[in-house]
Structure 1
Amino acid sequence: MRARGANATDIIILVVAADDGVMNQTVESIQHAKNARVPVIVAVNKCDKPQAEPERVARELLEHGVVGEEHGGDVQVIPVSALKGDNLMLLAEATVALAEVLELKADPGGLVEGVVIESRTDRGKGAVASVIVQQGTLRRGCVLVAGRSWAKVRFLFDEQDKALEEAGPSRAVQVVGWKDLPSAGEELLEVESEQRAREVVEWRSYEEEQAQLKEEHKVIQERQQEHQERYQEQRQSTAHLSWRQRKAALYRANRQQAAMRPSEKTEKNQHCLPLIVKGDVDGSVEAILSLLETYDGHDQCQMELVHFGVGEVSEKDVNLAETFSGSIYGFNVSASKSILRLAEKKGVQIHLHNIIYKLIDGLKEELSSTLPALLSHNVLGEAAVLAVFQVSVGKKKVLVAGCRVRSGLLDRRMRFRLLRDQETLWEGSLTALKHHKDDVQKVGTGVECGLSLDTALEFSPGDVIVCYEEVSQPQVIAWDPGF
């Protein structure tokens, strides 16, 4: 989004907080400005706060190649306060002065050129795109093309939602009349007729389909090459066999691969979170999808994007989520009461957020909840086997270990492990724990006792009995979107 803004404008006003200084987002914006070769004016905001340090901000900007005029550079650094309105007129005058020095001009005549800043779906207006006019004069009735979308302009609105008849260069307006929702960042061009607009859109769609087909063909060729190499390896490994033996070996290998596929598919789908993403505008959806791409997967949990779009959560979204057993995440959108009731009836979770950080945090929590809990062992005590006895319990002969607790305690309700030469021979539960002739629940350090296991296993003097409890801890997805 920052890169798109840098390429769409003629002058960048870089806002830096005087108390926070240069942050990662500021560094990213500086890099986008350099890549777009657009001049910068720095507005150091929040200068009214007691902890504000505009001088420190200027020094930090030097480290990233932004040299202010007070340090001998050509970048204007202006301290402002958006809260109190301090120096805002000075910032406007600096912007106008820089525009005059750069001789920024545009031709109001000719065909319209511009860029789509944002797009959204409005209940009353339909598909709406916010655009900046860069050349020409945009009027009602103009036919526009942006990417694979086109429009015959029905209405124009300014930033205060007031109707306009026309908009000249540098003017930002909302355009109503799109057949399809254009993507943010698309180049806006005026064409002479609706027929011409349809031809342009059809040609662009055809080119995109051809590019996609080429990409799919490339993937198919790579897969075929892999299969061919695997087949050659199988033939070489069975070259010394007779043709009947070779045929049987290949048959067994194919059967093994076919048997593995369903289990792999089941394991993959067992911990997979299907997602449906809805946003208020196209740019928001783009930003969320970019963050989702930073999720590089987990050994036990995958994330699958089923559908994304602009607008409120609809019945179609709920039905899709039910079909794929997924969840719906909405950013700056709402869901009607009827949709919420439908989702509750179908068992679909709808998560609505207006802060992107909270949306990602909620997604991390849901991904983590799909993972099985981690089991850890907390050792409670150890006992050494001193002697082995055989006692009669009814008609059965039961081996009993005579032990002394070396540390901690033995609790009959917990789990136990038998060690011999540091090697685990058994894990399970006790069938009996006695002190002298009494059945006891716990035995402490230094106390002698007798115990028997839930399986027939011979003890040896010197064996170690370890008492432990199993602690369940939820797993947490390690995902850093890089905000």
Structure 2
Amino acid sequence: MPKVRIYELAKMLKIENKELIEKLKELGIDAKSHMSVLTEEDAAVVMEMFDTKQDTITAQEKTEQQTEQVEQQQYDVTEKKQENQENQNHKKGKNKKEKNHNQQNHNQQQKVEQPEQSEEDVAVKYIGENPTVKELAEVLGKNASEIVKLLMKKGIMAGINQNVEFDMAVAIAEEFDIILEKEQEKDIMEEVFGQEEQDDEKDLKERPPVVVVMGHVDHGKTSLLDSIRHSSVTSNEAGGITQHIGAYTVQIAGKPITFLDTPGHEAFTAMRMRGAQITDIAVLVVAADDGVMPQTVEAINHAKAAGVDIIVAINKMDKPSANPDRVKQELTEYGLLAEDWGGETICVPVSAVNKQGIDQLLEMITLVAEMKELKANPNKKARGAIVEAQLDKGRGSVATVLVQSGTLHVGDPVVAGSAYGKIRAMTDDKGRRVKKAGPSTPVEVLGLSEVPTAGDTFYVAENEKQARQVAESVIAKNRENLIKDTPQKVSLDDLFTQIQSGNVKDLNVVVKADVQGSVEAVRQSLERLSNEEVRIRIIHGGVGTITESDVMLASASNAIIIGFNVRPEPAAKLFADEEKVDVRLYRVIYNAIEDITAAMKGMLDPVYEEKVLGHAEIRQLFKASGVGSIAGSYVLDGKFERNCQARITRDGIVVFEGELESLKRFKDDVKEVAAGYECGLVFKKFNDIKVGDFVEAFKMVEVPR
């Protein structure tokens, strides 16, 4: 049973709301009104209690019936006259009893029906998150002044155009016996193009499987894929880490297989998730000499969540330290039991270096694909996913797309999020121009108005006009959400609230990268560094070189700029120097994370610790007009510095702690006095000093975090 309101439960149990509320209070369950919501556990407890009560009542009725039967038999034994008389009396009594019983039932039924009539009036209404007072009043069909009064009673001063938290709006609605539910936001794309329809079996044709290669960093994913397609990719990547998702089609025994290569670094979680969601089979690469690592576990979870079949490729079998049994043992902890160990997970030992086991791996992929009977309808408008997107100087917006259903043609009007356009050209993974692409085919397309977001679904529209209208609707929706999410400026009304909430500091960042997937990855990595004291806000993320407008935005927002595989324009570099905007350029994401972590440590409130400078003993007192008491002291160890802190102890008890106002040697002010020398000490706002007191000099030193 899901969450249920009290009046609904009372209706099911056929009792009054008041009675149920009393029972709930006896059970220690908080219930304020008939509109209150009960959890699944609480509702189950109440139902069980009333079921037990019902069983007791049924048992009592059964006993009464048995007693009546026994009495009836006794009446048969007695004389006929007496029996008739008794029967008549019994009938009268029984009729009277039945009459009273019926009357009670009628009264109880009326009592039960009363709340039912009022409960039928309970309406369910829908509203957006954090509505204004005016919107809430309109939905509830009440005057805004009534809502304002109710809010005042609850200690909230709100004007007609001020926003109300959704929970408070629900509480206000309960006052009018109205259930308020959160309005579900409609997806613009689904509204226009609808959800994927089930195709007729006769229209379906076999399609190639889409295989994603996943695993931990440096376990040999790209090298394995390189061995499969006989080309070199790894050497071109910065730091040996695959930075962009690539999509390739490989012919195996005349049948095509589409491979996706996902980066292994944990920062690219979003890219790997996207890879798992658009694929049929996941090849999990695990190094035989390294075993299961954090990103391996992450990859397993993504593949399981996406419902794709997992084939384990135990790589680096050519190494002397290779131990495939250890890998299989570790995989069992995550629900993957190898076939040769009695499980269902296919494990293939391979070596990407000497191409050992590659044919067997491809054979297994083909076998799993045949068992899955992968089919799609190529004779309809195309629909698929944006695998990667980037801005090319000569070609403009370039997107790598994977067609999932239908066939994509050159000239088709396409929309993907806020990007739209007519496809001007299509290129396959080997760089050849193609005119169409069927299901499970990756192609690079040109002609979109802007760089789409990697992971977006693309749709073929009726015409370019419809595509533009849908994209404009998405842009308008995104703008609304941005305005809604942008924090309001501090006013005197909420200043105290913000101070009490911890005075959160923000580190604003502008991210520019060469491809959209990298922007996403950098964004996720940096946002994960946020903590209670410092929050990282990515105020803008884009593809392409760092421009003057990026520097202007960073300057206005007091932000730093992070460039990933991009350079600033010469004019932008000069402008950044003028505005003193910090521009950091990186090729590998680890360095960016390290630098931001260091910057965050600088922003945290400093932590101080006490550093003892020295000790002195007061041996003589002097009085001076305008100064007060001067402590003639002898420095026992360390040294005393001007403007340091001092602590006076007398018989082991601290009598003063504060600033040292003056440090003299004879009649001269000095910067410091070392051990073995005498000096005169004056303490700020403290004259109650005595001969024999001990003085400790110290200062507060900032501790690096």
1:178-327 equivalent positions in 2, closer than 5 A: 178-202=448-472, 204=474, 257=492, 272-299=506-533, 301-327=534-560
Query: How far does residue 171 in structure 1 lie from its aligned partner after superposition?
Result: 1.6
Superposition map of 1:136-155 within 5 A: 136-155=406-425
Segment drifting more, 287-296 vs 118-127: 287-296
Deviations 1:183-240 (A, max 9, x none): 2212222233223323443555566678889x78xx99xxxxxxxxxxxxxxxxxxxx
Unaligned runs of 5+ in 2: 1-269
Corresponding position: 1:427 with 2:659: yes
- Match of 1:191, as an amino acid? A
CA deviations 1:349-372 (Å, max 9, x no partner) are 211112222212111222333456
Deviates more, 1:89-98 or 1:339-348: 339-348
Residues 388 and 399 in structure 1, CA contact (< 8 A), matched pair in contact too: no
Aligned partner of 2:312 in structure 1 is 42
Tell me, yes or no, if structure 1 residue 118 matches structure 2 residue 375.
no
1:341 is aligned to 2:574: yes
- Could you tell me whether the CA contact under 8 Å between 1:416 and 1:465 is conserved in 2? no
Distance 1:167 1:339, change over 3 A: same
Q: Relative to 1, partners in 2 of residues 1:461 and 1:389: Cα closer, same or farther, differing over 3 Å? A: closer
> Aligned with 1:426: secondary structure?
strand
| TM-aligned CA deviation for residue 44 of structure 1 | 1.9
Aligned partner of residue 422 in structure 1, secondary structure: strand
Once residues 92 and 203 of structure 1 are traced to their aligned partners in structure 2, the CA distance between those partners, rounded to angstroms, is 44
The code of the aligned residue for 2:657 comes to L
Q: Which has the higher helix share?
A: 2
Return the offset for 1:319.
1.8
Is 1:59–2:329 an aligned residue pair? yes
User: 1:450 Cα shift?
Assistant: 4.9
Corresponding position of 2:291? 21
Q: Distance in 2 between matches of 1:260 and 1:376?
A: 31
State the distance in 2 between where 1:132 and 1:31 align. 23
Alpha-carbon distance change, 320 to 396 in structure 1, aligned in 2, over 3 angstroms: closer
Q: Where in structure 2 are the equivalents of 1:143-182 lying within 5 Å?
A: 143-182=413-452
* Contact in 2 for aligned 1:388/1:461 (Cα 8 Å): yes
2:646 corresponds to which residue?
417
**Partner residue of 1:9 out of 275, 279, 295:** 279
Q: Give me the whole-angstrom Cα distance separating, in 1, the residues matched to 2:303 and 2:495.
A: 52
In structure 1, C-alpha distance between the alignment counterparts of 2:482 and 2:615, rounded to whole Å: 65
Which fold has the larger relative contact order, with Cα–Cα distance below 8 Å and residues 6 or more apart in sequence? 1
SS in 1 for 2:440: coil
- Asked if the contact 1:390–1:397 (Cα under 8 Å) also holds between the matched residues in 2, the reply is no
Q: Which has the larger radius of gyration?
A: 2
Q: In 1, distance between residues paired with 2:660 and 2:532? A: 32
CA–CA separation in structure 2 for the residues paired with 1:375 and 1:297: 20
CA deviation map 1:121-142 (0-9, x unaligned): 1111111111111223322112
User: Would you say the 8 A contact 1:275–1:328 is kept in 2?
Assistant: yes
Q: Distance in 2 between matches of 1:212 and 1:373?
A: 33
Q: Quickly say closer, same or farther: Cα 1:380–1:126, change in 2 above 3 A.
A: same
Q: Deviations over 1:95-126 (max 9, x none)?
A: 11211121223333322122111111111111
| Other-structure match for 2:701 | 471
Contact kept, 8 Å, 1:431 with 1:454, in 2: the verdict is no
Sort the Cα spacing of 1:422 and 1:457 in 2 relative to 1 into closer, same or farther, 3 A: closer
Count of residue correspondences: 424
Per-residue deviation, residues 271-300 of structure 1 (Å, max 9, x unmatched): 64322111222222222222333344453x
What does the per-residue CA deviation read over 1:222-266, in whole Å, with 9 as the maximum and x for residues that have no partner? xxxxxxxxxxxxxxxxxxxxxxxxxxxxxxxx9xx469679969x
CA contact (8 A) 1:109 1:137 kept: yes
Q: Which residue pairs with 1:235 in the alignment?
A: none
Compared CA separation, residues 106 and 384, structure 1 to 2 (3 A): same
Shift of 1:34: 1.2
Q: Which residue of 1 aligns with 2:686?
A: 457
Structure 1 pair 416/335, CA: closer, same or farther in 2 (3 Å)? closer
CA-based RMSD: 3.5
Pairwise CA distance, 1:429: 5.6
Under a length normalisation based on structure 2, what TM-score does the superposition of the two structures give?
A: 0.54
Deviations 1:290-335 (A, max 9, x none): 2333344453x44443322122211211122222332101122222
Structure 1 vs Structure 2: percent identity of aligned residues?
A: 34
SS, match of residue 441 in structure 1: strand
